[in-house]
Structure 1
Amino acid sequence: MKGYMRLVAVASLFILFFCLGCKKEIPLPDSIALRGGTPDSLAISAAGGEFSVNFNSSSTWGVSLSASWIQNLSNSRGDAGDAEIILKVNTNTEHYDRKGYVTLNCGKASVRIVVYQNEAGAIILTQRNYTLDAKEAKIIVEFKTNVEYEVIMPSVDWVRDNSTKALTTYTKELIISGSNQEESRKTSIIVKAKSSNLADTIKILQTGLAIERERAALVNIYNRLSGERWTSKQNWHTNKAVGEWEGVTADDEGRVIGLDLRTNWLIGEFPKEICALAKLRELRMGGSGTMFGELPKEIGNLKSITLLDLSGNRLSGPIPSEICTLLNLKNLDLSSNSFSGEIPSSIGNLSNLEYLHLEDNTLSGSIPQSMSSLSKIYSIILNKNQLTGSIPAAIFNLPKLENLGLENNQLSGSIPATIGNATKIVRLSFNNNNLTGVIPEEFTQIADKLDWNSYHYVNTGICGNRLSGSIPQSLVNHPKWVKIWRRVVPQQDGYGLNLNSVPLAGYSFTFRDVNHRNQILTDIYKKNKYTVLLQWDKENYLMYQLAKALEEYKDSGLQVIAFDNGSLMESTTKNIVGSSALKSFINFLSFDHSSFNPGDPSEEVFNAIKNSGCKSVQAEVMDKDGNIIFSYLKGMGGDNRFSRDTQRELIPFLAGLLGSISTPFYESTDFSEDGKVITIQQATVGRGIDLVVMGDGFTDKDMAANGKYESWTREAIEHFFSVEPTKSFRNRFNVYIVKAVSKHQELIAGAHTALGTKFGSEISENQRKISGDANKCWVYAEKIVRGGTHLDANKAIIINVINSTVWAGTANMFPGLTGTIAHCSHPVEKGDDFKHIVVHEAVGHGLGKLADEYYAPGSPWYMPEWKQQELKSLYQNWGWYSNIDFTNDPQKIRWSWFLSDERYKSFVGIFEGAFVDYTNDVFRPSENSMMNSYSTVFNAPSRLAIYKFIMERSGEEYKFENFIKHDEVSLSPQVPHQ
């Protein structure tokens, strides 16, 4: 045992010595700890802020953040030892508490700080502003909050707290007492946190009785002016504040201060309710063209108004003197209406007036002297009235006057010498009055200031009067004389100024022709002996005569420069020039005004001729030096160069200078066939309805038996009887052809045709309107003699077949007469077009007295009430236009019976749009018909009208049941409306 113990002791010593000989250092564990009083959790207010974290680490450390709203403003890493970092907590804008973590790491050791941030205090109102009418009301104020709050009520007695215990702490019920006050009233209620300044405000505006009346007035205005048809009517007739109604402007209290209805069709009488808008400052109702009636005296209630625009309507009666009490008025525009009577003598009371536009009415009497008191006025426009008396001399003393338009009146007396005092005048027009005496020397003083260009409301000038005597030499010597003499010299026919030694040069300007070549007018004068400058009309015989003259005498020194009336596009002008007699002229290109600088003399000259006031072709002839030797201008003091009739005198004048000029067209010489009658048939049933067919523009070469004249007129007869109901009742007609030999074939002004038919304005490239001479047609119809008695042309249906292949058709209907005249062209290369024209014009309009069922698509156009009444009268008195109506009530419409009959239900309906121009409030019976598209048969109401006239005019009693029986033949092929 002892040996064993010694062995153990020895072994232990050995192990001990071995271990002491192999000793190695053992590392300390990772550690990181907060120090310096830094807590492991922090509570931060909603406002946020910065705080420091102090700690000690045994080795390298790092920091991590769990939320974006905690930011580290210091280093994110560091070495062992003591350390400090600065952290920032952002403001809490949310309405809830939030928690985040800041973690400090040192190797495997870490320590975490919890950051708590309070929620943001809030009081959130679901509605802050309440606008109420004058009636008593109850409102529930709702809000959200996370703080203790209190409600601070206003001190007014018309708002009281009606909250009860049944309500939650997050609502307030308020009673708003009714108001009997005229004006609005307002107050505020504050919802406030008890422990802070956090608060929100409820604003209550209660409108007064005046606002309620204004709302009612606006509703009445809407109803009286057919508001349901307006295109700009958003929010009208709703419960929204009137300031949100389209076109209405309201002040902060909800009172109406502006009303702009210019974009709407205002159909109806001027609404008196407008005068109830006592705070109205601007009223714009111009340009409608459909508002009528008189202005009420109550217009004087609008004491706040500064702008009153009622232009472009159909208002009538006198201008009420109460307008002159509107002392804030700056702009008064009553132009383009039908106002009559005198301008109120108290107009001078409007001391703030800047613009006065009363043009284009029928105002009479003299210009009020008080108008000379309008010291702030810039523009006075009184054109196109019936004003008499003299021009007030003091009106030229107005210090700010720039525009004075008095043209087209009946003013008399002399031009006041005070005209020289108008130092600010820019545009002045006395044209077309009865002014007498001489041109005062003082006129020259303002000539330099005047703008001599044309404007839509003032064309500067003094022409068209009865002025006499010599022209002031200072005016003749004026640098602008060559431009302005046409606005000064021409007076009324039979009157004139002394033109001795007064230079009157022709036009001088540069222009582009239709081939885009620059042309200098003075150079053209110099190259030729005689230059004709004229406004052209392609459908005028004179154009062809001039073309012939140019063909024969161009080498002898003749040139023609032509321009249109300024209404055509460049492409249209080129097409017309290239396809007519005009192609031989130098053709002035239609102006593109944007390509000229303001005041460009070319534009001025062009407008001078274009606005000459004459509808026929006008011409002037200049010699090599540019002097006028022939002119249409009148009132030139008896000078034989002027007052020339272009249509009648130009060709003889040129012939006197150059020699005879050949006729441009073939002319008939054999008139032996003229007036001959061919009887096609006599009626075998009834007393006979007279159908007379003739033609215009046919020369003696067309008159052979079975020649062009007979062929086309016989074709028209067959077309007349090609559709129902005339097809079935041909035996009730007397049918004749009357020959009419024309001197010329061309249907243009200046040419001579038997029936005087002329083409009118273009509808499209191949479609024209027609005008005819009814008296000449009746004369030829009365060449028919039966039993010694001439046919009564006033009772006949006359078809005038035109010798032209251009699509054209017009029917002349005469109230009180059963007879009609249908002018029909013959478009031979277009299938059934000739048939459709004859049936539409002669059967539809001529026999059935039907209205056109087509209309022009595009902008809405409403038939005015006066037009409806006119058409209703023609229906009631003469049975015209039974195929249109002005109601869409199936029980009341003129063809109501057809709508309820099973046989016609799929063929007859109610479709809006008819009578050419009207897309609204005029109704037709079918989508398509002969009176609409030309391409189908007549609809049932139209067939009924034609049947009725056939029966009555042939002497048989009309019975509806007989029509229904007869109409069975028309039902099977009828094309249903879509």
Structure 2
Amino acid sequence: MKRLVNYIGILLLVWAACGCTDEQIVGNAGAELRVTGKIDTPSSSRTSYAVGEEAVTVSWAAGDRIGLFSESQPAAMAYQAASAGKQTDFMPESTRLKREEGTEVYAYYPYDYNTDIAFPKARLPYLFGQNYNGGLPDPNADFMYAKGEIRNDMLSLDFAHLFAFLKVNIRTELLQGAAGLRVLSDEPIGFMGVGDANNPAYYDLEADSLIAEKYNYLWYSIPQEVLSTQEVVTCFIAVLPTSEQNTVSFFIWDENGYSDKGLIEKKAPEGGFQAGHVYDLSVNENEFDKILQQEREALIAFYEATGGDNWTDNTNWCSDKPLSEWYGVYMWDGRVKNIILTDNNLTGQIPEQFGDLTGLEYLYLSSNKLEGNIPESLGNLAYLHDVQLNNNNLSGNLPASMANLNELEFINLCGNKLNGTIPDEIIASDWWNRIGYDAIVYQQGGNKLTFPMYESSDYSMDGTTFTLQEHTAGKGLKVVILGEAYSDRLIADGTYRRDAEMAMEAFFSKEPYTSFRDYFDVYAVNVVSRNEVIGENTAFQTSYEFERNTFETDPTIAIDYISKMQETNYSAAHVTSMILMKTKAPFRSNNWSYSDDFSAAFCQNNSDDPESLKSLIHHEACGHGFGKLDDEYVEFEGTYPYPEAIRSLHTINESMNVDVTNDPNEIVWSYFLTDMRYEKEKIGIYEGAIYYPKGAYRATETSIMLGNTGRFNAPSRQSIYRRIMEKSGGVYSFEAFLEYDEINRRQIEIEGASRAGAVEKGTIGLPPVRFDYPSSEAKTRWKQKKGVNVPLR
């Protein structure tokens, strides 16, 4: 957007605030340490600024007060300017600086008589709310600071500004009904006191740092009499300096608060908004009206290009109603910010006009039927934080312009028909190096987006093991951790070991595992993958399925590695394994279980989100893998069709967290319904479990097995506790469980039942896969199932 920004350095007129005459000040000069303040050197930002034909010349005025202090004299001392000019001497009002050679002295303007000023802090003016000052800079919204050292009975101070200044001329007809302006910025421009808006903010001159809560907006008040008597209002607004990537926008603030009626939007000049400079951002027309019309036209073009008449929901689209009332369009700060049209039967191509939605931050168009290329103009959307175009039929390569999307925090392009070598500009971009490829490269129908990938060359560590924990109780329950998509370099630099240790801690972070951690042995296997990209040449040959949005995993490779371990007596039986898939790809994790008590939990390990891995381990490895619990969420319609299967599993202490009866006397957790000690946990009979909304029941409204939330509920804890006791060679009794479970009942009492359902991170995995044969038969049967020879190590 064209901007009206030309700057020459400045600053404000300083006003004399003198309690004695110039003659009196000079008269005391004879015995004083000489203190000189300069504002005309190259390092100073206080120069001059032309306003129309009038020049505002900035210099000291006689009587200007500065504050001085040092470590040895921490109470601020007031000194006054002896004369006007770019450089002047300053004389003490009362307390004087000591003539101590080499002493570092800090100075600030304007001096504040407030008694809480002490070295090295200087009180700052209130910047969060500013006021019109007759078309001139407000001297109360200025702050300068300096540092000097006493040398040869002289202290020379070179002052610099803390704030930049925005000068805005606005025709009053654009401000009818306004009480002032709200200035919004991409970067902090205003501040208030730390922790309390009524507290002052300070500047630490020694540390050269702001002691305040920063905000990306501030308020500027304009009196009604000014709007009624002047044709143009000139506003000088002090702001914190910002980078050249910043954009500021001005909105009308009315007497009821503020509205989203915008006036102007300006990009910072090269070098940013610098301290001590004034930037002319004046406007003669409402630029937001033009932007709004541009965005309306872009949305209409998008509607027409994507079969809008046939969308599942197209409420108010192309009507005269505000854009915020169009289905899936969300606005704030006067701009279209979000478009959410997921699974809405969009067809056709995204038009180039889409790039005119330059304020867009979130774009959700996944699970539609869009085709053709991603438009080059997508690169115009510099503020995009989140882009989800997955599960469409988009084709071609990524446009090089996407390298400009430096605000991206998440992008998902999986499940399209994109193809080709990703442009070098994108590979070199900031967001590619932050976010990576995981949610981009996975395409359907044999299509593939390629880019240079690291390849392992050293396989000497492959298959080697290390012990993370040895049991001190029972006979040792085996947990084995393996890694997928870990190259030789990620094993050599310790990345895999750190992840394995993190996974172990996650496994034992929920009860009953926390209390019975000493019953377990934990081992890790170094598994070297050729590449670090799932779907390429990785050790477990993991791929992906778009229909169910899941990883396609192979448990037989885990069986092969574990069966070669001396620590497991060369058998996978009775081993709980976790395969850490190092990827950010947005697919569902899963778990495999065999009749000999072997299980393999494949868990996505997103390095940017360790809490997600933790919650997946709770659900997949702790819940399904070792605990043999069932899912409590609903995915299908109708009534659960296999009631006898659940009853059969109950006889071997499996799926004890779900049931197929709602009879309180027959349900598997009937005891907990009547024991008042479990009242706070809200144990009940909740319909909806094992993927069906009818005919299946769970014990609590929420739990780890429902949505990776909270804790294992009482029936689940009982079942896990029993498995630990029996599998470790001990004896299980329900009374012993109740005695142990006191720690959980007490914690629930403290937290409250609602706390038990606090949402954690992590995508819900697929239903677990159970085999009625042992892991020793897995290779043969897996090959038969696949119909191909699966290479195993």
Superposition TM-score, scaled by structure 2 size? 0.39
| Pair member with larger Rg | 1
Identify which of structures 1 and 2 has the higher relative contact order when contacts are C-alpha pairs closer than 8 Å and 6+ apart.
2
